[in-house]
Amino acid sequence: MNRPGGSAKTRDLAEWLLAFEAAPESPSNPNTPATIHVCEKLRQHLSTLVGAAGFRSLFLRALTLAKREAPISNLVQVKEDGSLEGFNGEATQTGAVLIANLLGLLVTFIGETLTLRLLHEVWQDLPDSDISSKGKELT
């Protein structure tokens, strides 16, 4: 059985999102880690669909799974509103593991098609070729 964040496709997608948010032309605050930007955009968008508690539950599970794979500090926590607290610019690889786990859980619960549609609603520049390959799924 695959871990939610274990697929190469979800990891690649997470790395693309991080690179996009870290790019100099990104409208995000350059003093905040890209991982925070990605998580905040996902939180804001998904909370309208599943509520703050629903997103928080999903994000808590992703964080738990990510801590098994990457050196994420025990100080990193998910606040009541679903936002991430205590993530102070850990390595990009650590952020990719966290986001890949979150994406993997989304694919598990709502499927690849809906997950990709949600991501395209938030990141319109997300190229189709980077996230889908014929015959291959994200999980």
Per-residue confidence in pLDDT tens, the chain, 139 aa: 344 455 888 999 999 999 999 887 766 666 788 888 999 999 999 999 999 999 999 999 999 999 888 877 777 889 999 988 887 766 667 889 999 999 999 999 999 999 999 999 999 988 774 444 444 455 5
- pLDDT score recorded for residue 128: 75
User: Tell me, what's the pLDDT at 74?
Assistant: 75
Task: Spell 19-50 as b/e; 16+ CB within 10 A means b.
Answer: ebbbeeeeebeeeebbbbbbbbbbbeebbeee
Q: Give the whole-angstrom CA distance, residue 68 versus residue 137.
A: 23
pTM across the whole model: 0.83
